[in-house]
Amino acid sequence: MDLTFTPEQTAFRDELRAWLAENPPAERPTDGSEAEEFAWRRDWQRRLYDAGWAAPSWPTEYGGRGVKPVESAIYFEEIGRARVPFSANTLGLLLGGPTLMVWGTDEQKERYLPPILSAEEIWCQGFSEPEAGSDLAALKTRAVKDGDEWVVNGQKVWTSGAQFAKWCMLVARTDGDVPKHKGLTYFLMDMEQDAVQVRPLRQITGEAEFNELFIEDARIPDANVVGGVGNGWKVALTTLMNERAGLGFALQIRLRQLLDDAIAAASERGLLEEALYADALAELHIRCETLRLLAWKGLTDAERYGQPGPEGSLVKWLWSDTNQKLTELAVDIVGPEALTAGTDWSYEFLRARGNTIEGGTTEVLKNIVAERVLGLPRLKAAA
């Protein structure tokens, strides 16, 4: 057991930390428009890219540094620690690129990977549908072959960045006559066509991180099938498995920063000496620190034993639950003024509500833990 970084890992961290300190992002736009905000994040990714820091975990042949998972996790911890924005093309870097590396043809890799890295082409994810949330394989968007093209009709939801995206990782049903997991195909859909309409989805914070996609006779060339027709579920699982692999480390550091802010706020108000607040803050401290330990344990055990332990399923659950408890406590500490619209705390408080739903609801995560980690029998669901 050694809960420190090796000298090489420390050197990697220090190099990145120094670079981040010397190369901060441009001033954040203050006009509140999503386009401006996105342009700012795109500019930031461009700076990372120019310095070779856009995706250190990507193999060198695709423009990365080919670093191991531990260094990649360090990278995201440092991104979180430096309070810099997430890259504009985060979905392409974390999901699309790695999925293509596994399932894409050589032509696809050559064509699509470089502009993901450089943020020239932004990617979005067309998985969820209004009637296919946790039960993703129930999705209804259909793709029908027409010559050497596919014609797509359907609706997608929770598509972040769709208004800026060039490519959509689209899972659609290509065969309605086979069991639901078997009739799916994974496509790269060009978002720059009139047949794809993007409508912002306003959320409880008032902003629109996500969109709905209305797809009416959109066209996708056959060459844009990823991983073969009818193999979409497997390819989608590759994407989903990457979903939080790295970002979790950044989110976990942000949680820690938020807790430090809450502790500071409590201290300023003399509440750190009040037993009830002290108890609640100490509990959050324990959760935050054990979350980090579990994240690292999950990562390093997977490397050591070749298979992930139970931690992977627990980390997102614990993170989301802790972030909600933390922001609730922060409102108690700061008082009613924390609920003034537009303040950081009111935003964090409202945004946290989505954490236990997005990227796998807590209920689904508990099912996964119960069935796959503990081996409990599954209650028979309707087919």
* Closest CB to other proteins among residues 241, 302: 302
Residue type, 229: V
Considering the rule CB under 8 A, would residue 293 count as an interface residue with other proteins?
yes
Considering the rule CB under 8 A, would residue 302 count as an interface residue with other proteins?
no
Q: Which residues contact 285 (CB under 8 A, 6 or more apart)?
A: 259, 263
Task: Return the ∠ at Cα 214 (arms to 213 and 220), rounded to 5°.
Answer: 90
Taken as a whole, the chain contains a residue count of 383
Token pair 């497997």 is found at: 234
Binding-residue pattern over the window 250 to 269 for other proteins, x denoting contact by CB under 8 A: -------------xx--x--
DSSP-assigned letters across all residues of 132-149: BSSSGGG---EEEEETTE
Considering only residues 115, 133, 200, 310, which one is a binding residue for other proteins as defined by CB under 8 A? 310
Considering the rule CB under 8 A, would residue 276 count as an interface residue with other proteins?
no
* Closest CB to other proteins among residues 263, 333: 263
Q: How is residue 349 written in tokens?
A: 């408080």
* Spatial distance between the Cα atoms of 205 and 77, rounded to a whole number of angstroms: 26
Helix 311-334 / helix 344-352 crossing angle, nearest 10 deg: 140
CB distance 359 to 316 below 8 Å: yes
* Closest CB to other proteins among residues 118, 361: 361
Considering only residues 102, 278, 302, 331, which one is a binding residue for other proteins as defined by CB under 8 A? 278
Considering the rule CB under 8 A, would residue 30 count as an interface residue with other proteins?
no
Considering the rule CB under 8 A, would residue 359 count as an interface residue with other proteins?
no
Q: How is residue 374 written in tokens?
A: 């503990």
Considering only residues 317, 319, 345, 349, which one is a binding residue for other proteins as defined by CB under 8 A? 317
- Smallest CA-to-CA distance from 212 within 194, 227, 197, 192 is with 197
Q: How is residue 137 written in tokens?
A: 């394989």
Binding-residue pattern over the window 56 to 95 for other proteins, x denoting contact by CB under 8 A: --------------x-------------------------
Q: Segment 8-27, which members bind other proteins (CB under 8 A)? A: 9
Considering only residues 135, 279, 328, 337, which one is a binding residue for other proteins as defined by CB under 8 A? 279
* Closest CB to other proteins among residues 166, 287: 287
Q: Looking at 243, 311, 337, 358, which residue is catalytic?
A: 243
Based on the residue annotation, tell me whether 274 is a catalytic residue of this protein. Answer: no
* Spatial distance between the Cα atoms of 74 and 249, rounded to a whole number of angstroms: 8
* Spatial distance between the Cα atoms of 104 and 90, rounded to a whole number of angstroms: 19
* Number of residues this chain uses to bind other proteins (CB under 8 A): 51
Q: DSSP secondary-structure letter at 160?
A: T
Q: Least distance in Å: CB of 284 to other proteins?
A: 10
Q: Which residues bind other proteins (CB under 8 A)?
A: 1-5, 9, 70, 263-264, 267, 272-273, 275, 278-279, 281-283, 285-287, 289-290, 293-294, 296-297, 299-301, 304-305, 310-311, 314, 317-318, 363, 365-367, 369-371, 373-379
Catalytic residues, by residue number, are 243
